[in-house]
Amino acid sequence: MKTTANPKARTENLVVQHVTDEILVYDLTTNRAHCLNKTAGFVWSRCTGDKSINEITEAVEAQFGHAVDEDFVRLALDQLENENLLTEKRLAGVVMPNRREAIKRLGLASAIAIPIVSSLLAPSKALGSVSCACISPGDCITQTSCPNQNNCNGSGICAP
């Protein structure tokens, strides 16, 4: 079933780090850390608000060189939505698959990794003590190991 919903990734109050085959996302509002595997990260990065689920599915196929159906992308979107990484709660007109059934069905037929979003709650002060995360420039003043102590850039990091 083709859908016309255009999912949009949330960008505010997130610290995003791209590492080999994963995207690490720290949500400053909930103190939750999320690890998006290669396929979930790819789907999330395509959620720009101007691409349909069908277009994202086609992009996944082109990137990974294997045919997937829309349920593959819907599974990723369901996980991203559950972790508040999309701007809208229920994507209008989108029927999300039952996660367990989708994983069983996709796992048997998929030649690429099933999209996985792993999350955990971080202690409220943990990020500030080990990174340069910020919400406002004032947050940078006490973080002496950061590249900039006066600027909280658009990525939520004390840096130029």
State the DSSP string of 76-126.
HHHHHHHTT-BSSSS-TT--PPPHHHHHHHHHHH-SSPPP-EEEEEPPTTH
Residue 146 and residue 112 share a domain: no
Tokens describing residue 129: 């003590």
Q: Are 13 and 30 in contact (CB under 8 A)?
A: no
State the DSSP string of 7-47.
-BB--TTEEEEEETTEEEEEETTTTEEEEE-HHHHHHHHT-
- For 34, phi then psi, to 5°, come to -125, 135
Tokens describing residue 33: 């850390």
Q: Which domain holds residue 41?
A: 14-122
Q: Which region among 39-53, 120-134, 144-158 has the lowest average model confidence (pLDDT)?
A: 120-134
Q: What percent of the chain has pLDDT over 90?
A: 36
> How many CA atoms, within 13 angstroms, populate the side-chain half-sphere of residue 51?
18
Amino acid at 35: C
Q: Are 82 and 32 in contact (CB under 8 A)?
A: no
Residue 137 and residue 71 share a domain: no
Q: Which region among 6-10, 22-26, 81-85, 149-153 has the lowest average model confidence (pLDDT)?
A: 149-153
Residue 64, helix vs strand vs coil: helix
Task: Name which of 61, 35, 67, 60 is nearest 46 in CA terms.
Answer: 60
Residue 137 and residue 118 share a domain: no
pLDDT for 101 beyond 80:
no
- Residues 106-139 have pLDDT tens digits of 554 454 666 778 777 766 554 444 567 777 777 7
Number of domains in the chain: 2
More confident call, 44 vs 20: 44
pLDDT for 87 beyond 60:
yes
User: What pLDDT score does 151 carry?
Assistant: 82
Residue 115 and residue 135 share a domain: no
Q: Which of 58-62, 101-105, 111-115 has the highest mean pLDDT?
A: 58-62
Kindly state the DSSP code that residue 157 receives in the 8-state scheme. B
Residue 96 and residue 31 share a domain: yes
User: What pLDDT score does 156 carry?
Assistant: 79
Residue 106 and residue 52 share a domain: yes
pLDDT-derived band at 61 (thresholds 50, 70, 90) equals very high
Tokens describing residue 132: 């340069």
pTM of the model: 0.65
